[in-house]
Amino acid sequence: MLLDAASMYFRAFYGVPETMTAPDGTPVNAVKGFLDMIARLVRARHPARLIACMDASWRPAFRVAALPSYKAHRANPDGSEQVPTALNIQLPVIVDVLSAAGIAMAWADGYEADDIIGTLAAQATGPVEVVTGDRDLFQLVDDERRIRIAYIARGLANLELVDEAAVTAKYHIPGRSYASFAALRGDPSDGLPGVPGVGEKTAAALVRVFGSLEAMLAAIDAGHGGFPAGSRARLVAARQYLDACMPVVKVATDAPVTLAGGNLPSVPADPGRIADLDQRFDLGSSLGRLLSALAASPG
């Protein structure tokens, strides 16, 4: 099980009241919510191994170089991400608690959590579940390699297990073609403009015909037909974007991380540190539920 940690703690922050604070007034809603999410996943999904994948760079330079608009609307003047102050001060606490509990984490300078997930999934020899609320990671589904997404956009109570058939049913495209579909459609939340005039239906039709964005561009260069009505001209007009976008859209599979560790700890790695963190931040029942779920795991 690979956790998209940023996706999860953002959801925890917005889903748990900010009135939940430590004795000194420090907000801990994201910390507690995140711990509760992990506990529920461990109990419900029974992973043999679990790794929390972290953002070392929320807006990697290689993506910005390819497409300067990438997440530009979410950047502060100094280049940092616009994160609520009440969440930002909780992020070191989350890392401290995971470390003291013995939960493996992975990150790499210059890469997003998505890239860490993509790289570790590519290295895996057994089944993988990627826990995320970000549909960008649908591109990783692979029935042959037993990689699927545990999609939490509607909450853990409504967790969706997404495989190739689920992608096909939702978007009417081959299950492994999501990245090309996303590039054509665009995603305003990431500053990904997409192709003007090409919405989900046309993007899906193009993917069904050609299979990939690369094949579409090759067909244009070769003068081939087969394009849905009006779409060829739109692709030609957006050629500069299309030539640049795939390194932005595609999850990296070559980040400098190695799939290692991740066995679920039956007892905290650092009991003294866990006790100190619990006392300082009053993590109480949320921490208790996590440690109990880990102790009960067969791993």
Residue 299's pLDDT is what? 57
* C-alpha distances in Å from residue 261, one per residue of 58, 65, 104, 265, 285: 24, 34, 7, 11, 27
pLDDT tens by residue, 213-272: 999 999 999 999 889 888 999 999 999 999 999 999 999 999 999 998 899 999 999 999
Strand partners, 38: none
* CA 53/CA 294 separation, integer angstroms: 18
Sign of CA dihedral 23, 29, 32, 36: positive
pLDDT tens by residue, 115-140: 999 999 999 999 999 999 999 999 99
Q: Is the pLDDT of residue 298 over 80?
A: no
How do 128-132 and 104-106 pair as beta strands? unpaired
Architecture of domain 178-249: Orthogonal Bundle (1.10)
Residue 38's pLDDT is what? 98
Q: How many CB atoms are located within 10 Å of the residue 176 CB?
A: 19
Q: Is the pLDDT of residue 16 over 70?
A: yes
Helices (H), 50-171: 61-66, 85-88, 91-101, 113-123, 164-171
Homologous superfamily assigned to 2-165+252-296: 5'-nuclease (3.40.50.1010)
Average pLDDT, the chain: 95
The mean per-residue pLDDT over the stretch 157-184 comes to 94
Q: How many CB atoms are located within 10 Å of the residue 285 CB?
A: 13
Q: Is the pLDDT of residue 198 over 60?
A: yes
E strand or H helix that includes residue 241: helix 239-249
Q: Is the pLDDT of residue 46 over 70?
A: yes
Its pTM stands at: 0.94
The share of the chain scoring above pLDDT 70, in percent, equals 100
Going from N- to C-terminal start, the domains of the chain cover 2-165+252-296, 178-249
